[in-house]
Amino acid sequence: MNKTFLYRLLGFGAIPKKILPVLQEEGVVVCDEGIGGRLVTKNVKGPGKRYIRRSEGFSGCLVITKKRILCFTYAKRQINIGVDDPRVSALYFDVPDSGILLVSFESSVFRDKWDGVIEFKFKTEKARQFGDALKCIGARQGTAAEAKSRIDGL
């Protein structure tokens, strides 16, 4: 997969230089930067926010170390979860194609007074490696939207 245009031109989507030494010290399992993707929200409601369906593209990075899962879109931290955090089991992942990784979760698990599904779609040639690493630390295969619809259907 090619790196995004904004990464090649301006470095958007790179692993922040301040945190790179910390990640290396933790022991990087798999990482990729300058990857394109989409952030999709499905029926997300929170204090002062409401998104029926919102989708936006990004250039970002995803890193899994022996201690945490970290995702930045542009320079904004989106995911930062310790691998020993019990909420890791609330993360869902899927690799529908060899170059696509989906990571999704129910927002209420990570933020009080929030509800709805948040999904990240990463275009990376390391999708299978990320999927294997997520499975090893306890993330579930599938999507949060599917899990939520099964629960709502009960």
- Give per-residue pLDDT as tens, 38-76: 999 989 999 998 988 999 999 999 999 999 999 999 989
User: CA geometry: angle at 145 spanning 139 and 148, to 5°?
Assistant: 90
Share of the chain above pLDDT 70, in %: 94
Tell me how many helices (H) and strands (E) the chain has.
4, 8
Can you tell me the mean pLDDT for 5-26? Answer: 92
26 vs 127: CA distance, rounded Å = 21
DSSP per-residue codes, 74-139: TTEEEEEEETTSGGGGG-EEE-SSTTEEEEEEEGGGTSTT-EEEEEEEEE-TTHHHHHHHHHHHTP
DSSP per-residue codes, 56-68: EEEEEEEEEESSE
Domain that holds residue 107: 5-152
User: CA geometry: angle at 84 spanning 107 and 122, to 5°?
Assistant: 50
Residues paired with residue 38 on neighbouring β-strands, in sequence order: 57, 121
73 vs 53: CA distance, rounded Å = 19
**pLDDT, the chain, mean:** 92
- Who has greater pLDDT, 90 or 144? 90
Overall number of domains in the chain: 1
* Residue 153 confidence (pLDDT) above 70: no
For the full predicted model, state whether its pTM sits above 0.85: yes
* Residue 98 confidence (pLDDT) above 80: yes
> Which CATH number is 41's domain given?
2.30.29.30
